[in-house]
Amino acid sequence: MTQTIKSPARPLPPEVARRTTQRAGGWRLARRLVSHGLLLTGSVAMLIPLVWMLSTSLKKSGQEWIFPPVWIPDPIWWRNYLEATDALPVPFYVYVVNTFVITFNATLGTVLTSSLAAFAFARLRFPARNFMFLLVISTMMLPGAVTLIPRFLIFRYLGWLDTFLPLIIPYWFGGTAFSIFLLRQFFMNLPRELDEAARMDGASSLQIYWQIILPLAGPALASVTIFQVWGHWNEFLDPLIYINSMEKYTIALALRTFQNIRSQRVNYLMAVSLLQVLPVLLLFFSAQKYFIRGVQLSGLSGR
Amino acid sequence: MTAITKPSRRWRRGPRWREAVDGWLFILPWLLGFLFFTAGPMLASAVMSFLEWEILTPPTWVGLANFHQLMVDPLFGLVLYNTAFYTFLGVPLYLLAALVMALLLSLPLRGIPIYRTIYFLPSLTPAVANALLWVWIFSPDFGLANYFLRLVGLPPQKWLFDIHLAKPALILMGLWGVGSQMIIFLAGLQGIPQVLYEAASIDGANEWRRFWRITLPMLSPTIFFNLVIGVIGSFQVFTTAYIATQGGPQNATLFYVLYLWRNGFDYFKMGYASALAWVLLVIVLVLTLIQFRLARRLVYYEVEEPA
């Protein structure tokens, strides 16, 4: 937990710092206590739902209906996790594998094709480049719901319904506008001399992209990758539209089914929900820096 | 000499030409995707909004009938009201909450990195798991929400089963996930040059004044960004309502995209759903334009001084 969101807390301006130290120390202490109090209260409010989820998932059936609620289950009933997933019509690992296959392929497509486009927008000169980039930006603002119905009809026409293809193939065509934008910003900041020197040595654009720019873009690629993995892992609407067979369900869809068949077993429901949350938390804690960077860069487009 | 008489051919073999070709080749995957999965479908849905098409039967041209039906559809009015309620109450609330959080989390205090992680964490929760969790929290008989009401001596509520409370409950649920907006605000706050604060302190501006005169104007582009993205996202709320309430009780949480989804995939009214989609696009576009108009007066953009 110590390796948390990094960014130095802003130091007080020297003038203010001096003045505050001159003032009564009690006032300063009170302010700090109030700030900590507020932050702590907020933290508790933020954590309680997650704790409640975990607590419910570990309650032996029957205990979840005790009111006022018991916070620490007695006994701690780990077996819920096994029994809950047994209650699903298809072994849980199938959903995990399905979600993984979709996430992996869609993310790979996004990283490859959006970095290609981002490279062109950042480092190649071609006619209508700015206009094209404007198109990319404008699709970021487009409500996805507008294309919902025709996209469905296109994939139906192609015979792709009830396959993973509608969830993967679009990402092999430029990925998402946001990832193009994020990568372009990063590529723009790499020194131009790299390309020029390579071109003097007779390197092609593809070689510059693959051998020079991509290896330097690790952090940006990591941000895009993590963002995509997170997005596809959570995605609900698209799988809901395109996947019908239970054995092709993603975790999100399986949870939905589980809600229907097991709504009376809330301890099981919380257990399977946590199974969707846990990998996300793992991902976050193993790559926090890139996660935060991705979110922050998304905000910079507003500047 | 040939260079002068045939400049175009010369240019074509030159490095600039090759770079231009490469540029277009590199954006080609995106361009194809844009044409097939975005622009094409948009045009298609524009055409389809003039059709009556129930997927299994051949489409028939009905002109403006779908749009006319929209105007007399009592559910459509309700759907607009629900979505507007959710957006105009939720988005400002989220902005304010995220801003206050970010201001607190940029104080020079011990443990700030841990606080930041805690505040950000809930926004990572996948939408489906999130909705299931909050259905349980809002459970009228055994839920946490009523437990806390009881602790402070208030009567229990029906929350998601209450026609008046269902939307506010969903907004409350969204409040838990403002961490990502908070992170964007934090980045904005860190981008404000320290010298401004120093100069203001020397001029004797107190903290309150510094907030209104420096922090807020300098942060206005970030606020604007969060606002625009927030409104667009809020108008498309789907998963929470689909999982938590299925649009109920009595359609109190029937939001725009949920209604569109039902028309398309439950009733197979492809034409009507497309009309809904285009009206949504127009609404979102108009709202975004209004915000951009307001931004011209209210958002402060730094202009690079000529050196």
pLDDT tens string B265-289: 999 999 999 999 999 999 999 999 9
Shared domain check, A245 and A177: yes
pLDDT for A301 beyond 50: no
| B12 vs B113 pLDDT, higher one | B113
State the average pLDDT for chain B: 89
A36 with A101, same domain?
no
**Are both A105 and A37 inside the same structural domain?**
no
Average pLDDT over residues B183-191: 87
If asked whether residues A144 and A291 sit together in one domain, one would say yes
Report the amino acid identity of residue B127.
Answer: A
Residue A227 within a domain? yes
Is any Cβ of chain B less than 8 angstroms from the Cβ of A137?
A: no
In chain B, DSSP assigns E strands to 51-52, 60-61
How confident is the model over B85-89, as a mean pLDDT? 96
CB contact under 8 Å between B24 and A277, yes or no, is: no
For residue A134, pLDDT over 60 is answered with: yes
A75 within domain boundaries: no
In-domain check, residue A187: yes
pLDDT value for A115 = 95
What pTM did the predictor assign? 0.87
Residue labelled with tokens 């404000």: B192
Question: Which of B 56-85 lie inside 8 A of A, CB atoms?
Answer: none
pLDDT of B4 > 70? The answer is: no
**Which of A251-265, B222-236, B268-282 is least confident?**
A251-265
**Helical (H) or strand (E) element with B52:** strand B51-52
Instruction: Report the CATH number that the domain containing residue A179 is assigned in CATH.
Output: 1.10.3720.10
Give the number of beta-carbon pairs within 8 Å between A and B. Answer: 317
Residue A129: the pLDDT is: 93
Give B-chain residues touching A295 at CB under 8 angstroms. Answer: 180, 183-184, 187
Tell me the residues of chain A between 196 and 215 that have a Cβ less than 8 Å away from chain B. 199, 204-206, 209
Q: What is the mean pLDDT of residues A225-244?
A: 91
Cβ atoms B102, B185 nearer than 8 A = yes
Residue B114 has pLDDT above 80, yes or no: yes
Nearest CB to A255; choose among B32, B109, B129: B129
As a whole number, mean pLDDT of residues B129-142 equals: 91
Question: Which ranges constitute the DSSP H helices of B73-193?
Answer: 74-104, 112-120, 127-137, 144-151, 166-175, 179-190
pLDDT at B2: 43
Domain assignment present for residue A112? The answer is: yes
At B184 the pLDDT is 87
Most B CBs within 10 Å, among A148, A171, A250, to test the B interface: A148
pLDDT band at B237 (very low <50, low <70, confident <90, very high): very high
Angstrom CA distances, A73 to A77, A263, B129, B141, stand at 8, 20, 21, 19
Report the pLDDT value the prediction gives residue A83, as an integer from 0 to 100: 83
Cα B123 to Cα B73: distance, rounded to the nearest angstrom: 36
At residue B301 the predicted structure's pLDDT band, cuts being 50, 70 and 90, is: confident
Mean pLDDT score, A111-131: 94
Nearest-Cα distance to chain B for A273, in Å, is 5
Q: Is A2 on the interface with B (CB under 8 A)?
A: yes
How do residues B204-226 score in pLDDT, each as one tens digit? Answer: 888 888 899 899 999 998 899 88
Query: Do A42 and A139 sit in the same domain of this protein?
Result: no
- Residue A116 inside a domain? The answer is yes
**CB contacts, 8 Å: A139 with chain B:** 34, 38
Q: Is residue A79 part of a domain?
A: no
In order of start, what are the domains of chain B with their CATH numbers?
2-48 (no CATH), 69-298 (1.10.3720.10)
In angstroms, the separation between the Cα of residue B4 and the nearest Cα of chain A is 23
Same domain, A294 and A216: yes
**Which amino acid is located at A101 in the chain?**
V
pLDDT of residue B304: 53
| Residues A82-93, mean pLDDT to the nearest whole number | 83
Give me the pLDDT at residue A142, please: 85
Rounded-to-integer distance, Cα A209 and Cα A119, Å: 7
Is residue B109 less than 8 Å (CB to CB) from chain A? yes
* Together in a domain, A40 and A98: no
Q: What is the pLDDT of residue B225?
A: 86
* Mean model confidence pLDDT for chain A: 85
Above pLDDT 70, what percent of chain B?
94
**Is A53 domain-assigned?**
no
Range of the domain at A26: 14-48
Average pLDDT on B86-100 reads 95
Rounded distance between C-alpha atoms, residue A57 and residue A78, angstroms: 8
R_g of chain B computed on alpha carbons? 26
pLDDT band at A2 (very low <50, low <70, confident <90, very high): very low
Residue whose C-alpha is closest to residue B27's, from A173, A206, A140, A183: A173
For chain A, what percent of residues have pLDDT higher than 70?
Answer: 89
Most confident of A60-69, A97-106, A171-180, B215-224: A97-106
* Number of domains chain A contains: 2
Question: What is the pLDDT averaged over residues A42-58?
Answer: 93
pLDDT-above-90 percentage for chain A: 44
> For position A298, what pLDDT does the model report?
62
Q: Identify whether A38 is part of a domain.
A: yes
